Amino acid sequence: MPFAQALWESLIGDSKLLLPVLFLWLAGTLMLWPLDSWLLKRMPKERWPLITAAILIVSCCFVINSPNAIGFADMFRVDGVTKGFQIICIVAGILTTALGYQQFSAMKEHTVEYYALILFSISGMLLLVGATDLVSMFFALELTSLCIYILVGYLRTQERSVEAGVKYFLLGAFSSGILLFGISLLFAATGGTTTNLERLGQAIALAPGNHDLLVFSGVLMILIAFAFKVAAVPFHMWSPDVYEGAPTPITAFLSIAPKAAALAAFLRVFGTGFHGVSENWVAPLSFIAAASMILGNIAAMRQQSIKRMLAYSSIAHVGYMLLGVLAMDTQTGVRAIWLYMSTYLIMQTGAFAVVIHLQGVEEGERIEDFRGLGKRHPLLAFAMMVFLLSLGGIPPLLGFFSKFYLFRLAILEGFVTLTVIALLTSVIAVYYYLNVVVQMYFKEPQEKDLDRMSLCTSAIVAVCGAILIVGTAFGPWIMDWVGKIVWG
């Protein structure tokens, strides 16, 4: 009885660390049952996005006020890294909910399950960024992935959406198997003692010499699985088709939130657990980063679809962010990736908001659809130009400073060759971003008129554009303020 009482008190005490996750689980469950019938009968569908956004805002408040501590038998940690990346995931969820309002209303595809799945997927991401054990990390990844598989194939009547969902599910299941096999190999290499990252790092360092191949194989398999989750080359093959087939709001969500959570886990696993065996993963990860930057940018030049172009661009940006993972100074690398991911959230959300408005309920999202946008809608074209130039790292926009901070860190840590590759491929990126700008300002406009932009989408475009422009002047002050909230 004393053991059961002590266990119960420990769980109750640790539960405060998971308040944001538990709140999202409760809200998502109530959305599906029993409130779904009540909502369907008594509440207009247009209010579901507002309810979802309100739930996410409350969970964000829980994140900010969460105490820094370790709980659940050292399987979950709340610290500055956890809070910082959790906030990015929640903000991405709020923006995705807002972006989907106009398009799903026009398509008459509003269902309460859509919003419940977003809540469940974000809860998995919140678990993932704080997980300090390979087992808890695996379960958090699966919770996130299973919800996103369904969201990618959400438009059941569209063949390419269903095809994208099936493709993502099959390849995702394969990568999950690789991850689980890698964990089992490391567990065996340490004599079956632990899967906790800190203790695992110590056990690997003390492993017998004849286990070197076992350790190398386990580390490499885990690296492959995480590279798949962030869509890094050569494990990116799912990304362009899934981005193109998924509903555009989900494409925006997929390009930001899961990547942020997976990169946070990347930093914990390789910065804490595998820091002592860096010779096993630095060279493969350097190759993955370089290949992602080169292939992502070169392939993006050939795309005619704006969604596929942004998909390959996202692969390139992951390559840039992996420079922060390679930095041995983990805390500095975390801050560099967090700053880059926060800026990327703003740039990518603004760009997809414009794409969603131009797309409407139609299938087309070609780059040619931007022809003459500068004459048809000058403010919208200017905002899109700001987003694209910031993605390309053109000064003085905020995207330039986030790249500068990351590249500077890579040079200080000795990755000069990779930084040169990053700089050269950034020049290539400017080419295909400017191609869209040329379509907007130097091509004759199309005959069809644009629908009126919803107030919500207009606000997102205006706020994101303003942050990228004004953020250059107030960037240091904003970073200090955010740093005090997140890192203390």
Q: What percent of the chain has pLDDT over 70?
A: 85
Task: Kindly state whether residue 31 falls inside one of the protein's structural domains.
Answer: yes
Q: Are 33 and 118 in the same domain?
A: yes
**Given pLDDT bands bounded at 50, 70 and 90, which one contains residue 446?**
low
Task: Kindly state whether residue 130 falls inside one of the protein's structural domains.
Answer: yes
| d(C-alpha 100, C-alpha 93), whole Å | 11
Residue-range definition of the domain harbouring residue 480:
281-488
Question: What is the model's pLDDT at position 447?
Answer: 63
Question: What is the model's pLDDT at position 12?
Answer: 61
| d(C-alpha 331, C-alpha 198), whole Å | 16
Task: Kindly state whether residue 4 falls inside one of the protein's structural domains.
Answer: no
Residue 352 or residue 37, greater confidence:
352
- pLDDT tens-digit readout, 230-254: 889 888 888 888 888 888 888 889 9
Q: Is the pLDDT of residue 157 over 80?
A: no
Q: Are 244 and 326 in the same domain?
A: no
**Structure tokens given for 51:** 């309810």
Residue 385 or residue 450, greater confidence:
385
Q: Tell me if 487 sits within 8 A of 338, measured CB to CB.
A: no
| Per-position DSSP letters for 121-136, written without gaps between them | HHHHHHHHHHB-BHHH
Which whole number is the average pLDDT over 438-462? 77
Question: What is the model's pLDDT at position 477?
Answer: 65
Task: Kindly state whether residue 159 falls inside one of the protein's structural domains.
Answer: yes
Q: Are 291 and 313 in the same domain?
A: yes
31-45, 149-163, 329-343, 403-417: range with lowest mean pLDDT: 31-45
Across the chain, mean pLDDT equals 83
Q: Are 425 and 317 in the same domain?
A: yes
Q: Are 109 and 237 in the same domain?
A: yes
Question: What is the model's pLDDT at position 9?
Answer: 47
Q: Are 94 and 197 in the same domain?
A: yes
Domain boundary among 232, 267, 302: 267
**Given pLDDT bands bounded at 50, 70 and 90, which one contains residue 452?**
low
Task: Kindly state whether residue 370 falls inside one of the protein's structural domains.
Answer: yes
Which whole number is the average pLDDT over 295-305? 89
Task: Kindly state whether residue 114 falls inside one of the protein's structural domains.
Answer: yes
Residue 210 or residue 395, greater confidence:
395
Q: Are 254 and 290 in the same domain?
A: no
**Given pLDDT bands bounded at 50, 70 and 90, which one contains residue 418?**
very high
Q: Is the pLDDT of residue 188 over 70?
A: yes
Question: What is the model's pLDDT at position 307?
Answer: 87
Q: Are 50 and 147 in the same domain?
A: yes
Per the structure, how many domains does the chain have?
2
Q: Are 464 and 353 in the same domain?
A: yes
| d(C-alpha 483, C-alpha 77), whole Å | 18
Q: Are 47 and 107 in the same domain?
A: yes
Question: What is the model's pLDDT at position 123?
Answer: 93
Q: Is the pLDDT of residue 435 over 50?
A: yes
Domain boundary among 235, 267, 299: 267
Task: Kindly state whether residue 50 falls inside one of the protein's structural domains.
Answer: yes
| d(C-alpha 67, C-alpha 84), whole Å | 13
Domain boundary among 267, 291, 321: 267
3-state SS assignment for residue 343: helix
103-112, 138-147, 440-449: range with lowest mean pLDDT: 103-112
Report the predicted TM-score, pTM, of the whole model to 2 decimal places.
0.90
Q: Are 168 and 304 in the same domain?
A: no
Task: Kindly state whether residue 56 falls inside one of the protein's structural domains.
Answer: yes
The winner for highest mean pLDDT among 361-370, 404-413, 450-459 is: 404-413
Q: Is the pLDDT of residue 153 over 90?
A: no
Which whole number is the average pLDDT over 354-377? 75
Q: Are 36 and 181 in the same domain?
A: yes
Which whole number is the average pLDDT over 159-183? 88
| Per-position DSSP letters for 350-365, written without gaps between them | HHHHHHHHHHTTSS--
Q: Tell me if 273 sits within 8 A of 206, measured CB to CB.
A: no
